[in-house]
Structure 1
Amino acid sequence: MNASKQSLASRLLQHIFPKTADFYLLLHQQCRQVCVTVDNLVHFMVSECPDAGKMLKEDEHEADRLRMHNLHELNSSFSTPIDREDIYRAIASMDSIVTYCKSTYNEMEALQLNPDHHSKAMVIELQVGIKALERGFAILGKHPGDAEQHAFAARHSERRIEKMYRKAIADLFQGQDYLNMFKQRELYRHLSNAADKVHATANVLEDIIVKLG
């Protein structure tokens, strides 16, 4: 078979059986980008640095790009090494973490809120949870069994945030400044929702681990 016929045959095979994307890598890359977003939110809330807020907005665009790229790869892949539904759930839940981080920042800007010790503690713990997920996705492809401990750590982080949230709400409604109460509650709620999505992502990670076992 000459070169032109080989090339035609290769193209036909590629069309019929397109190359499968490395979804382990794609999910890890997306999780790393979520880490960048959470890191910037932590930096903004701890230092109240305006540049960190600007970087948070820029990170959202990169997170959107990765999400759309991963969804495109999922929709165009002939087969996947992981259950398609699990890949989609992982993509969607990680994207929701970014969305809630951005909502937190937007609410602080719109309502002219400053972070208090409750919100700072919650976002720092959120950082712990997302970094646990990043470690889990980093080794999922080669050592899925070892990734389970990181899924557990991420879920444990979410539970700590929920305890912080309940304490923050209890402390908040001790005073009489009702306008500030409702403003702060929105901030706490966004961080609690972000933690819920960390938990959801950890559940997906564990589902994948079980199916790979």
Structure 2
Amino acid sequence: MSESAPSIVHRILARVFPKAPDFYQLLAEQADQVAHTVTLLVRFMETADPATAKQIKKDEHAADGLKVRNIHTLNEAFYTPVDREDIYRAIMDLDEVVNYCKSTVNEMDVLGVSPDAYTLDMARCLHQGVLALASGFARLKIAPLAAADDADLARKAERRVEKRYRRALADLFQGDDYLNMFKRREIYRHLSNAADRMAHCANTLHDIVVKSA
């Protein structure tokens, strides 16, 4: 028998207590996908390029695949390295950020709304936040305190989005072009909601760090 072959006891234990999936890696991959989508969102707000909008829609399908994979892995896992509910919340919040990116470009197309300075500014702030999230999940396993700092950066980015959202609404509701007001308000709201989900995910990231300390 090969010296490297696992013993019967080890094989039995592996069946009864299977190795936990690397949820740190799974969440980091999902966060990277979100960052990619929001990068495209910024590009769209800069260029109004229909091809970029189409790519965002494709990204949403890719992100949904990662969400389904991670949820399935979570459901099948005998053991998780951090709180199971925290992993679930992170998976769902990351996915919702991408969903709002898709909703934004979809409704801009349907409503005939073009990007403006506010949609670009909010997208850029959102981008800063999701990059911080991606960094945080990438460093969570080996540098949790640094990941907590990244979570704080993401929350600050969300507050910047909200400030711009309120400023956009204040400027929008001037005059009597009510149809344009209601159309753009919906777009601004989607971007605000994306930032809100990002902040929820940042809170979860911070919770994981605190519970792991």
TM-score range (shorter-chain normalised) is over 0.9
Aligned length: 212
**Residue 185 of structure 1 aligns to which amino acid in structure 2?**
R
Deviation at 1:2, TM superposition (A): 8.9
| Residues 1:38 and 2:38 aligned together | yes
Deviation at 1:19, TM superposition (A): 1.9
Alpha-carbon distance in 1 for matches of 2:161, 2:152: 14
Deviation track 1:4-40 (CA, whole Å, cap 9, x = no partner) reads x968766543331122110111100000000111111
Alpha-carbon distance in 2 for matches of 1:8, 1:184: 65
Residue 7 to residue 55, structure 1, CA distance change in 2 (3 Å): farther
2:117 aligns to what?
Answer: 117
Give the 5 Å matches for 1:1-213.
12-213=12-213
**Residue 34 of structure 2 aligns to which amino acid in structure 1?**
V
Under a length normalisation based on structure 2, what TM-score does the superposition of the two structures give?
A: 0.95
Alpha-carbon distance in 2 for matches of 1:112, 1:133: 32
**Percent identity among equivalent residues?**
53
**Residue 94 of structure 1 aligns to which amino acid in structure 2?**
L
Q: CA RMSD in A?
A: 1.7
Residue 6 to residue 128, structure 1, CA distance change in 2 (3 Å): closer
**Residue 137 of structure 1 aligns to which amino acid in structure 2?**
F
Q: Which runs of 5+ in 2 are unaligned?
A: none
**Residue 30 of structure 2 aligns to which amino acid in structure 1?**
Q
Residue 107 to residue 17, structure 1, CA distance change in 2 (3 Å): same
Alpha-carbon distance in 2 for matches of 1:212, 1:198: 21
Under a length normalisation based on structure 1, what TM-score does the superposition of the two structures give?
A: 0.95
